[in-house]
Amino acid sequence: MPTIHAAMRNGLLVAVRDDVAEHDGATTDGVVSDGAVPGDAWRTTRRLAEHDLECVAVHPASPDRVFVSTFDAGLHRSEDGGESFERVGQGTIGEHVMSLAVDPESPETVWAGTEPSAVYRSTDGGVSWEHREGLTDLPSSSEWSFPPRPDTHHVRWIEPDPHDSGHLYVGIEAGALIETHDAGETWEDRVETARVDNHSLTTHPDAPERAWSAAGDGYAETHDAGETWVHPQEGLDHRYCWSVAVDPADPDTVLLSSASGPRSAHNTDTAESYVYRKRGDSPTATGGGVSWERLDDRGLPTGEGVVRAVLAPGAAAGEFYAVNNRGLFFTTDAGDSWTRLGVEWPAAFESQTPRGLAVLA
């Protein structure tokens, strides 16, 4: 029974699918329209609509504990699968929480990133938090700046390494990709080949030392745990990259959402975004002949009027989920074909950008 947590700008949508056609209280509006899957019944709830959301995180081993970060009211936690939320971290974490991550091996260890750039850690499931100091002492920090608010910057993404609990990739928007190998005791400054405007990163449990980055200044991946990065971009015509996801069964199959720039990525009035796929490893700087393919006309809305998607892997080979301003979508063949999920989609979401996607498949 999959559960999807989709964080839009103004509201968290929690959708739970039942494996029956009807269910008491189920929301079935749109189940058989607009390409949705017939026979599915979804129970949906909308929470935190009064806040300005930034991201959502949940661990499969603790599915009832959901974290949602906001720009206007700090960090919120649910212990009942998103039915209710309480604010946590007050007095330690500020109002502007931009990123979240739960350690893949330890659901009690949670990471949060803020604006201005700072990283916080909890080792008790979000009850208490500590500031992992020293991030802004790095030499490159004098160059960090977020263009819409140029006097500040923030931690856009935190990606724990599933093969090393002390190793984190931390994307600063904009200015650097930072790392730590001791859980934030010390920080390592950006390397020359890393992107500087990292929007999202991902890792894979079956691919040690590999990581993938979707950045405003292009796509990148590493094969040596961040020591060097390569930039295979042949066929990638839109290089303002936002979200990246890797096939659960094949780390050489990568999906990427992108646009030509921030206005076409984020603003519904001027939106024009796309989803690309790359198959095959690309350990050299140019990709070694591996090319990106644009996934147009596959059932997933792209192009004019569509903001950049947020992507998430499913549980089985070829499974991915995507959310944009047109709804929630699912593929079982790595993007060859997509199905719109039969989830009630509030009209307000059609003019909003998705901020995060967490799937418990």
Q: How far apart are CA 322 and CA 338, in angstroms?
A: 9
Measure the CA–CA gap between 262 and 338, rounded to whole angstroms.
25
The whole model's pTM is what?
0.93
**Alpha carbon distance 238, 295 (integer Å):** 13
Asked if 358 and 312 touch (Cβ cutoff 8 Å), the reply is yes
pLDDT digits (tens, 9 = 90+) for 262-307: 999 999 999 999 999 999 877 766 556 789 999 999 999 999 999 9
- In the chain, how long is the greatest CA-to-CA distance? 58
Give the pLDDT score at 281: 79
In angstroms, the Cα distances linking 140 to 174, 183, 187, 188 are 11, 20, 12, 10
Q: Cα dist. 360→16, 71, 83, 254 in Å?
A: 10, 25, 16, 20
Domains and CATH numbers, the chain: 56-190 (2.130.10.10)
DSSP 39: T
Instruction: Tell me the pLDDT tens digit for each residue of 142-182.
Output: 999 999 999 999 999 999 999 999 999 999 999 999 999 99
281 compared with 209, residue with greater pLDDT? 209
Nearest to 191 by CA among 211, 205, 208, 161: 211
24 pLDDT band, cuts 50/70/90, is very low
Range with lowest mean pLDDT among 66-80, 250-264, 285-299: 285-299
Find out whether 54 and 356 touch, Cβ atoms under 8 Å: yes
| pLDDT for 21 beyond 50 | no
Please count the other Cβ atoms lying within 10 Å of the Cβ belonging to residue 138. 18
Residue of 5, 118, 145 lying closest to 68 (CA atoms): 5
Decide the pairing of beta strands 198-202 and 3-8.
unpaired
